[in-house]
Each structure stands twice: as structure tokens, then as C-alpha cells.
Amino acid sequence: MHKKHFYQKYKNLLTLFFGLISAGFLYQFEDFHQALLSIGAWGYFGAFLAGILFVSSFTAATGMVILLVLVERLIPLEIAIVAGAGAVLGDLFIFRFVKDGLTEEMRPLFNRLGGNHITTLLHTPYFSWTLPLLGAVIIASPLPDEVGVSLMGISKMSTGRFLGLSFLLNSIGIFLVLSASLILKP
């Protein structure tokens, strides 16, 4: 009964832990890595899938490589829009994961580490707008989105607003990276 209670109480943390371990394990296999890279031949559907891969720490580099392959054959703005839509799907999964359970599971640990002082600080007017702003900057950058999405998730942002921001920011970030790659191409 005690083990069952533990798994139910920390199911999101355990899912996150096993997901990270699994992703790291799969990414070590060359065949799996090559299969991901072959998505670059799938046109706009490949751009959508690359957008999903673009948001995660484990798959961001592969997503970027796929997008850079696609920019040699397709229009950067169109790739950015389609990949931005894929990135929204990846970000939505992270956002819902953080908003729906991970923060509640981590609250006891957070409180043991002095969370009351940090919570008070985070609820000041200064931090109520800086967390989403910092999250937006991270999402728009070529960095993986987990931290930015988590900041938006804990800032009590609505899902609808998040989806719009995620699409806009990811599309702009992808477009800028693809445009820079064309300009810097030897």
C-alpha cells in the first residue's frame, strides 16, 4: 500500500524521471538518431515534427538539424510557421505537465527548502510580470523550451494565452535561426 501511495503521489515526477532516462538511452542509438534525421525529407510534415523536437533538451539539436536541411528546399517563413505549430504541441505537453501536477508534487520539497520566502518573493508585482517575460525570451531563443514553459506554467498564465505566445515566439525564433543560417551559409 505504501509503494502504491508513493507512485500515485509522485506520478508526474516519476514520469519525468523515466522519460528523461528513456530519451537519453534512445538517443544513444545511431539508428534511432538517423531515423530522426530522415524526417528532413518529409517536407512540411517534417517541419512540423522538427518543431515538436525543437522544444526539448534531448531533441533540440536534432530538430534544428532537420530544420536546417529543410531550409535548403523550402521557404524559411513557411517552415517557421509550420515548425512553430509543431513547437506549440511540444510546449503544450510541457505546459500541461507542469501546470497540472508537477508543481503540486514538488511543493513539499520546495517548502522544505525555504519555499515560503521564495513564494512570497514570486508573488510580488515585480515577479508577476518577469517570470512570463523571462519564459517568453527563453521560448523565442534557440535554447530548449522546458525552463521557459515551466516559468509560464507557474505564473498562472491561461492555456489559451500560452498557446498564442508559444506559436508566435517559436515561429519567430525558428525563422530568425533559419534566416541567419542562410545569411551565414558559405
**26-41: per-residue pLDDT in tens?**
667 778 767 777 887 8
Distances (CA, A) of 76 to 11, 50, 111, 135: 40, 14, 46, 24
The percent of residues in the chain predicted with pLDDT above 70, rounded, is: 68
- The boundaries of the domain holding residue 99 are 2-184
With cut-offs at 50, 70 and 90, classify the pLDDT of residue 148. confident
Lookup: cell for 32: 534511432
> Which residues have a Cβ under 8 Å from the Cβ of 103 and sit 6 or more positions away?
153, 154
118 near 110, Cβ under 8 Å?
Answer: yes
Rounded to an integer, what distance in angstroms lies between the CA atom of residue 47 and that of residue 67? 6
Would you state the pLDDT for residue 72?
Answer: 85
Rounded to an integer, what distance in angstroms lies between the CA atom of residue 78 and that of residue 44? 8
The percent of residues in the chain predicted with pLDDT above 90, rounded, is: 25
With cut-offs at 50, 70 and 90, classify the pLDDT of residue 75. very high
Query: How many domains is the chain partitioned into structurally?
Result: 1
With cut-offs at 50, 70 and 90, classify the pLDDT of residue 1. very low
Work out the mean pLDDT of the chain and round it to a whole number.
Answer: 78
Would you state the pLDDT for residue 86?
Answer: 97
Cα 26 to chain center, whole Å? 19
Residues 86-113: tens digit of each pLDDT: 999 999 988 877 666 655 655 665 566 6
Phi-psi region of 74 (alpha: psi -120 to 50; beta: other; left: phi over 0): beta
Where do runs of H (alpha helix) occur along 113-158? 115-122, 125-140, 146-154
